[in-house]
Amino acid sequence: MTRQFLGLPTATLKWSETGEPEDVHTGDVYFSANDGLAETKAVFLAGCDLPARWQHNDLHSIGELGFGTGLNFMATLAEWRQFARPDQRLHYIAIEGAPLTPEQLSRAHEAFPELQREAGDLQQIWPDAVKGFHRRTLPGNANEPKVELTLLFGPVAEMLAQLDAGIDSWFLDGFAPAQNPQMWSEEVFAQLARLSRSGARLATYSVAGLVRRGLGAQGFDVSKLPGHGRKRQRLEAIYKEGPQTAQTQSEPSDAVPDTVIVIGGGIAGACLTHQFTQAGVGVTLIEAQGLAAGASGNELGLISPRLDLEDSALARFYRSAFVYAGQFYSHNCSAAFNPTGLVRQAATLEKAQKHCDLISNMALPEPLAKLADDGSSLFLKTGATLHPMAAIAQLTQSAKLIKARAKRLERKAGQWVVIGDHEQVIASAKILVLALGVGELDGVELPALRLLRGQVSIGTAGQHGVNVPMIGASYVLGLDADRLLFGATHDRVDDRDCNEIRPVDHQRNLANLQILRPDLAEQIELSQLTGRASVRAASPDLQPLAGPVADADKCGPWSKQFWGKLSDYSSAPVLDGLYLLNGLGSRGLTLAPLLAKLIVSEICGEPSPLERDARTAVHPARFCARAARRQ
């Protein structure tokens, strides 16, 4: 049975006269009053032999238990920027059970003026306190080495179990074992071993017996060394091998491709293009009809979350994707992004009760979500609108755009070759990502799709504009002072090209607007309505498709071998170098940024930005495996 979501605890602090934060409940401090930065460098950086050890690989991953104020991260970031090569990549993954508010974070950072730049960068990308995984790219100059921060907000054992990564260095900096026993449990130590690469280093201030014994039992070679300041001792450990090494991470892949092909010029293709470019990968973008010609071509769209009353990895993915999308668009195409907020109207008593439950269970924390003045509708502070065409144009400006229809794919000499209508070679590359929407392509077997036709209506409503979008059974957005976009219909169809405007659908949209905003509907002339229709792609189970394309010929034997034992699809047989991002349905604007990041991370050999169970839920191989089992 799925657990009900209960939100995250908030950090409750008191402050010393000299500005150090202390947790009210545990009585433990976040950093030492006696030069906390020096302690961080002595205990954690020196304890893991950094920066010397990261000179040997292009990618170095650090895992931290207990992010707190981010002091360890900021100190690491400063050292990384000073000593790492421009072509190196740092992934910093940290778990925090009670995230600080932005105001608390800023106040704590005042104690470290020498880290002013690093503090400003962290505050700029700090995510809202939503349980789950939050990937962020650190701002930096073009000639600086790249840094990615992944914050895991939630209980330590639960979040570690959902992590897929290979860690080179561990910082164990939670509150002391006596005050915070859940962070120093046997379950946690086992997860550290699962995630550690051979030779991984670990550092912590704690030399408690249960810590030494727990790490030793999992294959860590543990040593006590002189401490820093008032602490007499500290602990260092090196991961060798232990009784649970079956899932130990392999050595990192430093092979980032020089170039990739993306087929599809909608929001999915645009987000892929931008994420690849940020990773230093060149993109050839192929689109037959031009950018934003399909379902992403509406004049305005919504950034809106899917909110469920449950605490599952998939439900957390949808919330994290919403938080990620807002920051992604505001940082990368701000002119196309408008943080308007959003009102979700309760169309039924059941919906009204769900809204109340979402607030009481903190599905999104205050002030991101609160009940509107009517006591049942939901106001989402970070809801937003996006001009898709403008966003797509900006996100793809660095790509090589080829306007041609991809008819089929061929595999030759380790390359994917794109063949056009006239049997001409359009492009070829080792890595190809399909963001086709409802487009068709020969030469490879892809999961079946549902085709969903949607028609929006555009009309004029006199002096009554819409500053804050509203959504219920339908939605309404303000295009400018008096023009409205509302709808949309949602119909299963068989024809990929049924994009003609239907008067009967204008009538349906206007009837739904009458329920949502009768004051606006009364001013609109049906005969004056214009609009747009397009067909969206959804998967049969209505979850997105994001990841490598399964090898259908090999899925049968593989599925039988793992019958009843599958917890994920990481071992599924896949077509080398071929990936898919599709089936986003009506949530493409919200889901595309994070799912594009997932695919780029996988191709570049980086830690996954999704929880393991959410990754399983969106993996394209799930349909191939299900079909094999049915047979």
Render pLDDT for 4-30 as a digit per residue (tens, 0 to 9).
Answer: 766 888 888 999 887 889 888 887 888
Query: What DSSP state is assigned to residue 489?
Result: -
Burial (CB < 10 A; 0-12, 13-18, 19+), residue 217, is middle
pLDDT at 120 over 90: yes
Mean pLDDT along residues 519-525: 91
pLDDT class for 556, splitting at 50, 70, 90? confident
pLDDT at 552: 86
pLDDT at 249: 44
pLDDT at 410 over 90: yes
Mean pLDDT along residues 256-273: 97
CA angle, 365 then 369 then 370, to 5°:
115
pLDDT at 564 over 60: no
Amino acid code (one letter) for 291: L
- Residue 66, classed as helix, strand or coil, is coil
Could you tell me the end-to-end alpha-carbon distance of the chain, in angstroms, rounded to an integer? 29
Asked if residues 355 and 390 have their Cβ atoms less than 8 Å apart, the reply is: no
More confident residue, 43 or 631: 43
List all residues 6 or more positions away from 39 whose beta carbon is below 8 Å from its beta carbon.
Answer: 31, 32, 205, 228, 229
Question: How, if at all, do strands 491-493 and 530-538 pair?
Answer: unpaired
Query: What DSSP state is assigned to residue 257?
Result: -
Cα 128 from chain centre: 13
pLDDT at 255: 72
Omega cis (within 30) before 367: yes
Please count the residues of the chain: 631
pLDDT at 245: 43
- What residues does 432 pair with on adjacent strands? 261, 578
Q: In whole angstroms, what is the distance from residue 569 CA to residue 620 CA? A: 9
Give the tokens for residue 574.
């896949």
Please report where in the chains the tokens 């049915």 appear, as a residue.
630
pLDDT at 392 over 80: yes
Residue 484's nearest CA partner among 470, 501, 463, 466 is 466
Asked if residues 477 and 383 have their Cβ atoms less than 8 Å apart, the reply is: no
Asked if residues 451 and 463 have their Cβ atoms less than 8 Å apart, the reply is: no
pLDDT at 563 over 60: no
pLDDT class for 251, splitting at 50, 70, 90? very low
Omega cis (within 30) before 9: no
Give the tokens for residue 168.
């080179």
Structural domains for the chain: 13-239 (3.40.50.150), 257-340+382-449+539-550+575-607 (3.50.50.60)
Please report where in the chains the tokens 């393991």 appear, as a residue.
612
Amino acid code (one letter) for 410: E
Inter-CA distances, 77 with 32, 146, 608, Å: 20, 10, 21
- What residues does 386 pair with on adjacent strands? 301, 337
Asked if residues 158 and 135 have their Cβ atoms less than 8 Å apart, the reply is: no
> Half-sphere exposure (CA, 13 Å, Cβ side) for 373?
0
pLDDT at 562: 62
Handedness of CA 513, 516, 521, 522 (dihedral sign): positive
Give the tokens for residue 36.
């906390």
Sheet of strand 301-303, all strands in order from the earlier edge strand to the far edge: 301-303, 384-386, 337-338
More confident residue, 25 or 247: 25
Mean pLDDT along residues 91-100: 96
Mean pLDDT along residues 475-500: 92
pLDDT at 227: 84
pLDDT class for 566, splitting at 50, 70, 90? low
pLDDT at 304: 95
pLDDT at 246 over 50: no
Burial (CB < 10 A; 0-12, 13-18, 19+), residue 284, is buried
Model confidence pLDDT, tens digit, residues 31-87: 877 778 999 999 999 999 999 999 988 999 999 999 999 999 999 999 999 999 999
Asked if residues 312 and 3 have their Cβ atoms less than 8 Å apart, the reply is: yes
Question: How, if at all, do strands 406-412 and 415-420 pair?
Answer: antiparallel
Kindly calculate the radius of gyration of the chain based on its CA atoms and give it in whole angstroms: 26
Asked if residues 404 and 303 have their Cβ atoms less than 8 Å apart, the reply is: no
The per-residue b/e assignment along 114-127, b for 16 or more CB within 10 angstroms, e otherwise, is ebeebbebbeebbb
pLDDT at 524 over 50: yes
Q: In whole angstroms, what is the distance from residue 243 CA to residue 192 CA? A: 13
Residue 157's nearest CA partner among 68, 97, 85 is 97
Model confidence pLDDT, tens digit, residues 438-474: 999 999 999 999 999 999 999 998 766 788 999 998 9
Sheet of strand 415-420, all strands in order from the earlier edge strand to the far edge: 406-412, 415-420, 425-429
Q: In whole angstroms, what is the distance from residue 298 CA to residue 292 CA? A: 8
Cβ atoms within 10 Å of 378's Cβ, excluding its own:
25
pLDDT at 242 over 70: no
pLDDT at 46: 96
Burial (CB < 10 A; 0-12, 13-18, 19+), residue 331, is middle
Model confidence pLDDT, tens digit, residues 132-169: 999 999 988 878 899 999 999 999 999 999 999 999 99
What's the pTM value of the predicted model, to 2 decimals? 0.94
Please report where in the chains the tokens 């929001």 appear, as a residue.
267
Asked if residues 149 and 175 have their Cβ atoms less than 8 Å apart, the reply is: no
Mean pLDDT along residues 112-124: 96
What is the chain's mean pLDDT, rounded? Answer: 91
Handedness of CA 94, 99, 102, 106 (dihedral sign): negative
Give the tokens for residue 503.
């008067």
Q: In whole angstroms, what is the distance from residue 319 CA to residue 368 CA? A: 12
More confident residue, 245 or 266: 266
Q: In whole angstroms, what is the distance from residue 382 CA to residue 369 CA? A: 8
Q: In whole angstroms, what is the distance from residue 503 CA to residue 514 CA? A: 17
The per-residue b/e assignment along 178-193, b for 16 or more CB within 10 angstroms, e otherwise, is eebeebbeeebbbbbb
Model confidence pLDDT, tens digit, residues 187-205: 999 999 999 999 999 999 9
Cβ atoms within 10 Å of 630's Cβ, excluding its own:
7
